[in-house]
Amino acid sequence: MIIARDVAVEAGGRLLLAGASFSVHPGDKVGLVGANGAGKTTLLRTLAGETEPADGLIRRSGVVGYLSQEAALRELSDDAVNALERVLTARDIGNLERRMEKIRWKMETAREEERDRLISRFSRLEDEFTARGGYVAKAEAKKFAASVGIKGAELYQQVATMSGGQRRRVELARVLFAETDVLILDEPTNHLDLDAKAWLMEFLAGYPGGLLVVSHDLPLLDEAITSVLALDGGILEPYRGNYSYYVAERERRREQRIRERKHQDVTIARLEEGIRRFKGTTEKMAKRARSWETRVTKLKDQRVELGPSARRVNVRFPQPESSGRTPLKASGLAKAFGHNVVFVDVDVDIDRGERMIIMGLNGAGKTTLLRILAGVENSDLGGVELGHNVTVGYYAQEHEQIHTGITVMDHMRKVSAIPDRDLRTILGHFLLADKVDQDAGTLSGGEKTKLALAQLVVRGDNVLLLDEPTNNLDPQAKEALLGALHQYRGTLLLVSHDTDFVESLRPDRMILMPDGETGYFDESMIELVALA
């Protein structure tokens, strides 16, 4: 259970929310909604105890499970830990199994006297592991991992070698596997395929504890929640019902506020007209005019606030210089992480101005291939060739190019030498103009996405490699990005599980991973995008 009283939160020295009071009880399913940058992620982080509120009081009871937007796993103390072990740490038995495994390795090479000591130690640990329900829990952990798309060899892959999407799914499995009383989930459907989303919705619907979730996946909000907290302009407003009810009720409340404000403005205008007419006449009428002035002052203080008009993201990629006919080509690419072979003998051949999508199931190597093409990661075999006059812009799904301790403006200066005035204008198009001096590490996930896209805009590259660019974006920002890509005349290579986005973008060709098969893209392949 979570109780918040008069809570205020801030990020980068900016007040995002003030005077918020609400609670999350067992059985409550609450969706937190608001535009990118409104403060949703900061509020969730504060409720989870990751940061302290700027003001107010937060009380928690029971075990709170928190899924962050980030997949960096700052708390990962052992780089050798694999996915299954990471999930098991949620119930404090993962470390036990890890210790057992280390002893088992030592037993294989130990001398007889040392082996007897190790056997005795292993036996004690195994007894403790069994007493804690370790073997049953291990089977259950595998089911949770498989349900979100981590299965087979991935279970035993080191988390440190996983892509951002894989790490995110491991963390989701770990949080859901934990025996919690409250779940706080920030964009839990990012990187999930269609089956995993369906499983998650069913799990959340039957979860007996309290749930607070942020998601731009509207079907999840509709099916899994029973109430909404809307964060807008520093105010948190509650709504009963699912997301669809919230959308309709929000519009009804706004229309009601507009009517009330119109009535108030008409009344104030009428009184002010009377004041002007009678203030300089008889003493009796002047006295009445003075009383009207007092009334007007009160009415103005009590006027219904309509809130500022919603600002819109405005994205436009500059038309780049033309590249050679084949801007990017790769031959015989292969990549493995330890014993986990991700893909072998993959070729990429993309024409100037072409739009190509990389498709495949979770763990098929889509992100790894894109990172190799971007020059961020090396292949084990094969090579990548860039064509004549090619410049490559890479958008990483986990905001790897956004660094804590560096301001938003300095991030822009790192990639462009144009005047600060022009950089501010571009940031304004992404609704980041008021955050130029803010530490970029304190931005929300959606704001980091916008900053990374703004960096691509000022670079003016003629080849764009985009890895899940719509993750964390609100619907309006996603629409703006889509419009910008439609106008872009450069070459585009994309990884995305967003079916609506891909369908609207209309790629020319696709690469199917892990085999690297290529072919023309058509509407029949949209279902495969959802499985990505």
The 10s digit of each residue's pLDDT in 464-476 is 999 989 887 877 7
Residue type, 316: R
Q: How confident is the model at residue 390 (pLDDT cuts 50, 70, 90)?
A: very high
Structure tokens at 449: 């996405």
Res 310: pLDDT: 58
Cα dihedral value 246, 249, 251, 253, nearest 10: -130
Q: How far apart are CA 346 and CA 369, in angstroms?
A: 9
Is residue 504 over pLDDT 80?
A: yes
Beta strand 55-60 with 235-240 is: unpaired
Structural contact between residues 33 and 228, judged by C-beta atoms closer than 8 angstroms: yes
DSSP string, 314-382: ---PPPPPP--SS-EEEEEEEEEETTEEEEEEEEEEE-TT-EEEEE-STTSSHHHHHHHHHTSS--SEE
Alpha carbons within 13 angstroms on the beta-carbon side of residue 408 total: 25
Structure tokens at 325: 């006919």
Around Cβ 522, how many Cβ atoms within 10 Å? 10
Around Cβ 60, how many Cβ atoms within 10 Å? 16
Give the residue among 156, 141, 146 at the shortest CA–CA distance from 101. Answer: 156
Give the CA distances from residue 325 to residues 19, 259, 351, 393, 491, in Å, rounded to whole numbers and listed in that order: 58, 59, 6, 18, 10
Res 127: pLDDT: 79
Structure tokens at 83: 């996915």
> Is residue 418 helix, strand or coil?
coil
Res 175: pLDDT: 94
Is residue 74 over pLDDT 60?
A: no
Q: What are phi and psi of 250, to 5 degrees?
A: -60, -45
Region 136-147: mean pLDDT is 90
Q: How confident is the model at residue 531 (pLDDT cuts 50, 70, 90)?
A: low
Res 184: pLDDT: 96
What distance, in Å, lies between the first and last C-alpha atoms of the chain?
Answer: 35
Angle at which helices 164-177 and 134-147 cross, to 10°: 130
Mean confidence (pLDDT) of the chain: 86
Q: Torsion-angle region of residue 351: left (phi > 0), alpha (psi -120 to 50) or beta?
A: beta
Res 75: pLDDT: 57
Give the residue among 397, 357, 387 at the shortest CA–CA distance from 512. Answer: 357
Structure tokens at 422: 């022009």
Is residue 218 over pLDDT 80?
A: no
Q: What is the pTM of this model?
A: 0.70
- Show me where the domains of the chain are located: 76-175, 328-530
Give the residue among 325, 329, 463, 334 at the shortest CA–CA distance from 386. Answer: 329
Res 215: pLDDT: 87
Whether CATH 3.40.50.720 fits 328-530 = no
pLDDT, tens digit (0-9, with 9 covering 90-100), for 447-493: 888 899 999 888 889 999 999 898 878 777 888 888 888 889 999 99
| DSSP H/E element including 256 | helix 243-278
